[in-house]
Structure 1
Amino acid sequence: MPRKAPELSALQVRRLISPGRHAVGGVDGLFLRVTDNGGRSWILRFPTGERRVSAAGNSFAVYRDVGLGSFPSTTLAAAREKARSIRDKLAEGIDPITERKAAKQARQAEERRRLTFARAAKAVIQIKQAEASNIKHARQWESSLESYVIPSLGTMSVADIELAHVVQCLEPIWQAKPTTAARVRQRIESVLSWATAHGHRTGPNPAAWKGNLDAVLPAPAKIKKVEHLPALPIDTAPVFWQSLTQREDVTAKALTLLILTGSRSGDVLGARWEEIDLAEALWVIPAGRMKRRREHRIPLSPAAVGVFKTLSPAQEGLVFIRGNGKALAARSMGDLIKRMHETSLKEGGQGFVDPTDGRVVVPHGFRSTLRDWMSERTATAHDVAESVLAHAIGNQTEAAYRRGDLLTKRAGVMKQWADFLVRK
């Protein structure tokens, strides 16, 4: 029978300073371990019941060590109490190391479940900002959540968010701001999906629409009020064009290209010289910059080519830049239209407003004017007109079989549109 270690006193334990493992007695297998640099800590050594054979052919018992804390932070009395507790568990067949690991994993799982919605949203926003081709859209993600969701759900654990919480968050804006509310719902759903994928919550997503919120809230399409962006009547477009082309500033030239090509503001402001082929009269916008994530080829009319040539074509870099070398601001073209409107009024003109509601026209409104012109003043086929504006094909079957982009036909339309604008 192995000899029991003598039971040392607290004073005797304090005097143990030589490196090694020192039995302190009181509980079988309790040691004070002293490191070479003087550090001291408690361990409990116990047999696992397993035996192995050494290289020399000798059988030996396998032991395991359990740490009980450092000395003197953990006193001799406390170390013996911890050791006795572990010995009692061993007697019951409970492995203390396995138990500790299970407890640690449980704590980690609980910490993951306690992740707040605000922290989860921050992680998802960073992902969306990295994916976004339009900085404005990326910022909208953050601002919409900050305005409509974080105040009510921000401090809640993602694991605790249920249908009632999502409904309470969305109801105040669901009918008043249906478009915004629909986007906010999708963003809540994305954040909670991310939380589920990362182990922070389980179960169905309470922000999902189908089979969930659709049974509680009215469909956005049923309550959405269609608000058209202010646009010029067809016959006012040449009047505006004449006023615009009298200006030589870079913002005016950007707006000129927007009108001539029927492009979106972001596409024009982000245009790069490496996308432009003046010899082929072609502007190719890469998929990463397009709303539909598909490359869009724009045939350039002679008038559009002429505008590009006035900008000192370069090999690369942004086409439209200010004198300081920085890109034009997102609102620059809209601000220019407002100034032109005010000038027109001062000179006794009618200004540049949408006659249906009296609002000053916005850059995107020229796409509506172009679409109206194609429908009412030309024989442009529907699919060609939609392709001019880089719209998706509504019929999925037709879209599946469509291979070309109707470039030649669109080139004819762009030439007609330019001729209409510059008419005297």
Structure 2
Amino acid sequence: MSFKAFATDYIKAQSPGWKNPKHRQQWTNTLTTYAYPVIGDLPIDSLDQSHILKILRPIWNGKTETANRIRSRIENILDAAKVEGLRTGENPARWRANLKHVLPKRADVAPVKNHPAMPYADVPQFMAELRIKNSTSARALEFTVLTAVRTSATIGAVWDEFDFDAKLWTVPAERADVKITDGKPRFVPLCKRALEILDSFRERTDDSPYVFPGGKLRYPLSNMAMLNLLHDMRSDFTVHGFRSSFKDWASECTRADNIVSEMALFHVVKDETERAYRRGVLLEKRRKLMRDWEGFCAQPPAKRDGVVTPFRKKERA
């Protein structure tokens, strides 16, 4: 059997279990672009390390993340082929004790770059300018800053995720954080201004299921819409960077426990003690923190010198 034929069957068999429906298309697209031209027609039992390197070397330095995803996908496919008796021997696409000795480390050729973040002291001025703009992307960006979520959480939001009585937003795991592996949703306590933004969209007459609809009927806002608006206003920063602005503000201008702001950002809590602490979701503590963040964002820009949010008395767990 050829690699392409087996890979096609593998994707068809595995995709019903993938939580993100886009994964099937991503697998197919990357293999079609990079792998099939090199090994697609070759017998799957004939592939060795030289074939894998012929795929990876041309893109490893310039498209490192893409190259590593392709490597991982080929590794999974070849592992499955071995289980089905179509291959023997070691997997030539495996990184550990194999490709790591002939390819540079990903961190060396594609170091992690932090998203440029607006200094938190500048956020009130920015929010004041943002509030006077009248567009879906402006309200979506304001909502994103106030809730400290990722772009994907906002643009994919649908009305069924919101409990207006509880003032709570339930974000599915696949949109909350790419690193979430437990499959559990995350919860966002909604401040007053966030609820006002939602209310302003509830009276729409279109039939889009999305809170922040895009230009095409029944499609969400583009994932570039907020970034384009932000770059028109402040070209040096990213939407994701506001999460860092929020974290810096919470660390420097409040006495909220670190775990409270970490949970507000949906970060994975690794420490055993903190994991036990987080079981209560810390929802009320997070509500207070997000109300304080809303108040900070709404402060008149002229009052933003120095520490603008008074320290709270530290609450006991």
Task: Answer yes or no: same fold by TM over 0.5.
Answer: yes
Distance 2:218 2:68 in 1: 38
CA spacing shift, 1:310–1:398, aligned 2, 3 Å? same
CA spacing shift, 1:402–1:418, aligned 2, 3 Å? closer
User: What's the counterpart of residue 186 of structure 2?
Assistant: 296
| Identity across the alignment (%) | 35
CA spacing shift, 1:257–1:149, aligned 2, 3 Å? same
- Structure 1 contact 320–327 (Cα < 8 Å) conserved: yes
- Structure 1 contact 271–318 (Cα < 8 Å) conserved: yes
Distance 1:255 1:319 in 2: 13
Q: 1:174 aligns with which of 51, 60, 70?
A: 60
> Where do 1:14-413 residues align within 5 Å?
115-126=1-12, 130-134=16-20, 139-290=25-176, 291=178, 292=180, 293-312=183-202, 317-322=209-214, 324-338=217-231, 340-341=232-233, 352-354=234-236, 361-395=237-271, 398-399=274-275, 402-413=278-289
Distance 1:123 1:335 in 2: 40
Give how far 1:422 is off.
1.2
Distance 1:120 1:226 in 2: 34
CA spacing shift, 1:286–1:123, aligned 2, 3 Å? same
Give how far 1:168 is off.
2.9
| Structure 2 alignment gaps of length 5 or more | 301-317
| Structure 1 alignment gaps of length 5 or more | 1-114, 342-351, 355-360
Aligned length: 293
TM-score scaled by length of structure 1: 0.62
By relative contact order (CA 8 Å, sep 6+), the higher-ranking structure is: 2
Give how far 1:172 is off.
2.8
User: What's the counterpart of residue 306 of structure 2?
Assistant: none
CA spacing shift, 1:172–1:210, aligned 2, 3 Å? same
Report the 3-state secondary structure (helix = DSSP H, G, I; strand = E; otherwise coil) of the residue aligned with 2:41.
coil
Compare the two structures and name the one with the higher strand fraction: 1
Matched letter for residue 209 of structure 2: G
RMSD across aligned C-alpha pairs, in angstroms? Answer: 2.8
Matched letter for residue 89 of structure 2: G
- Structure 2 contact 209–218 (Cα < 8 Å) conserved: no
TM-score scaled by length of structure 2: 0.81
Q: Which has the larger radius of gyration?
A: 1
Distance 2:219 2:54 in 1: 44
Note the alpha carbon deviations across 1:138-157, whole angstroms, 9 max, x for none.
54433333333233222222
Report the 3-state secondary structure (helix = DSSP H, G, I; strand = E; otherwise coil) of the residue aligned with 1:328.
coil
Note the alpha carbon deviations across 1:337-381, whole angstroms, 9 max, x for none.
23x33xxxxxxxxxx133xxxxxx232222222222222333332
